[in-house]
Chains A and B, each alone.
Chain A
Amino acid sequence: MKLSRKQVEHIANLARLSLSAKEITQFQEQLSSILDYFEQLQDLDTNDILPTTRVLSIPCRLRTDYPTASLPLDDLLMNAPDTENDQFRVPQILP
């Protein structure tokens, strides 16, 4: 198989996903077979090809950096799982 169990666990850790032992086995099999299918890309010689960074040849537009009204604070906090004094509340991070 293309991916080892250890690799799958490493990717899950990078992606901050807790996975069950069953999910790890399943993803190991499924992602390996998907990546096998993708091998066909290696048939193409792309040494002189530039990667696509923008799909249409229209220049990226940056707006002027000036302050405008933001959404009301209450609206921005209304979906937060836990808040305190108009801030997002999280568990202690530093010991």
Chain B
Amino acid sequence: MTQITELTFQEIINSLQSGEISSHQLTKAYLKRIEKLEEDIHAFITITEEQALTQADKADKRFAVWRKDKTQPISPLLGVPLAVKDVLTVHNIRCTAGSKILGNFVSPYNATVVDQLLDAGMVILGKTNTDEFAMGSSTENSAYGVTHNPWDLSRVPGGSSGGSAAAVVANMAPIALGTDTGGSIRQPASFCGVTGLKPTYGRVSRFGLIAYGSSLDSAGAIARAAADIALLFPMMSGFDPKDSTSVNIPIERINLQDNIMPAQLRLGIPKEYFTSGIQPEVEIAIRKAINVLESLGIEIKEVNLPHTKYALPVYYLIAPAEASANLARYDGIRYGSRVDSTEMWDIFRKTRGTLFGAEVKRRIMLGTYALSAGYYDEYYGKAQKVRTLIKEDFDNVFKTVDLIAAPVSPTTAFKIGAHRDDPLAMYLEDIFTLPANLAGIPGITFPVGFDSHCLPIGIQLMGAPFQEEKLIRTAHAYQMVTDWHTRKPIPN
């Protein structure tokens, strides 16, 4: 018999609506699965069992009313469990951002995206592990322990949304929220063999998303299939007066039924993303996936994004600069933990010096330097100008193609500890995901094969601003004719 946690997203929705299973049963099954696997995988920082069951019971009551009178429509996500990355706040639940400095922080409010999904009737299972303040590409920088990749427990799940990606592929949650500042949804989704969407900057509210790089941060989703994201994404996007960069371009629904492939799509292949440093098996799998997309009627074109190689230095100047300003609020006075002293400045220095982890301190130092008197023009100012060139590359390419295909990462999941003493080597893992954040454009990743160690390989599609629907529909079309996304690492 199929276990409840193996049901597909659509099967979950159908079974809940038919009454075949209750949200309570479903939530219990996921909590049990989490309990069973958490010791090996460690995808969660906080499990919110009590609240989850309360939310599930509430959903079941709503279903009971609806079954008697179906004239009042229900949300398709009613009663469906969700895991939330621990940088998005949930009212009355601890939110650590993977940091000791927020070890006891209980959020007094919901992030807007959390509010939207609770309004849609979803059930929050818990808060997933993340690199501290989302700074990292492996989830090794969490103060609460490393998440292990379910495909190979000696490897990282990617990061920073590594807990969310690992939870989804190990059936510890049917779907999860992540955040992506430089690849933090797309790269872990790729390392874990799941589907991840980083939306256009501003399309999902950042209110309640603990700030890292405010001009780059976006909240998105990690799921088993593009079709699942098609259901979730319209519910989480939309204008929010509490976020001044929020845009008012709503999406009613994403229709996957009309026709499988959006007509006459043109897909650009940028040669700058197929460089010599990329693992050969990754390139082969991606080329094959591009052939599949071509066989579905998509026109393939070679394109150029000449400033690609500058994305890394630009990102690692802009993001730390923004972080150094955003993280100034952690001073041990108004919230978060404090290291006490009799002198005020000493409280600041000791609290921050003791409770921030090494990577957070490194980025605060880098950002502070890039913004400091005498160096601003040379570093931060220069980076903001080159960011314009990177953005213009994309603007030009999207005049001739609809989407761009590229690798997500040069390699598959690496070993835990592989980049421990070499921050620059870790930064290079992000080389293919950073440009989308710098340009504010959406990207989706999904599995397209495995390497010889049985580790998943992902492809990345990028689109012009607000073209999430094209990305989701193209990924869905690929998943209709392939089965990589259905492969699972751990038998039930």
Interface residues of A (CB under 8 A from B): 3, 7-8, 11-12, 14-19, 23, 27, 30-31, 33-35, 37-38, 40-42, 44, 46, 49-56, 58, 60-63, 71-72, 75-76, 78-82, 88, 90-91, 93
Q: Are A38 and B386 in contact (CB under 8 A)?
A: no
Q: Which residues of B in the span 333-384 have a Cβ within 8 Å of any Cβ on A? A: 333-338, 341-345, 347-350, 352-354, 356, 358, 361-362, 364-366, 368-369, 372, 379, 381-384
Contact of B331 among A11, A16, A46, A58 (CB under 8 A): A16
A-B contact pairs, 9 of them (CB 8 A): A7-B369, A16-B345, A16-B352, A27-B361, A41-B313, A41-B314, A54-B215, A56-B201, A56-B440
Nearest B residue to A39, CB-CB: B313
Q: In the bound complex, do residue A34 and residue B423 qualify as a contact, i.e. CB atoms below 8 Å apart?
A: yes
Within 8 A of A (CB), among B90-109: 104-106, 108-109
Chain A contacts of B356 at CB under 8 A?
Answer: 17
| A32, B71: Cα distance in complex, Å | 66
Given A17-B364, A52-B387, do A38 and B316 touch, yes or no (CB 8 Å)? yes
Q: A18 — which chain B residues lie within 8 A by C-beta?
A: 349-350, 352-354
CB <8 Å contact, A17 and B365: yes
Are the CB atoms of B333 and A88 closer together than 8 Å? yes
Q: Which residues of B contact A54 (CB under 8 A)?
A: 215, 245
B482 at the interface (CB under 8 A from A): no
Q: How far is the CB of A85 from chain B (nearest CB, A)?
A: 15
A19 and B366 alpha carbons, distance in the complex (Å): 14
**Residues of B contacting A51 in the complex (Cβ-Cβ under 8 angstroms):** 381, 384-385, 387-388
Which residues of the other chain, B, contact A63 by a CB distance below 8 angstroms? 241, 244
User: Is B362 a contact partner of A31 (Cβ separation < 8 A)?
Assistant: yes
Query: Are B386 and A44 closer than 8 Å at their CB atoms?
Result: yes
Chain B nearest CB, measured from A83 CB (Å)? 10
B202 within 8 A of A: yes
CB neighbours of A14 from chain B (8 A): 368, 372
Other contacts beyond A40-B313, A55-B201: 18, CB < 8 A: A7-B369, A15-B365, A16-B328, A16-B352, A19-B361, A23-B361, A27-B365, A31-B365, A37-B313, A41-B310, A42-B382, A51-B384, A56-B201, A75-B109, A79-B108, A79-B335, A91-B341, A93-B344
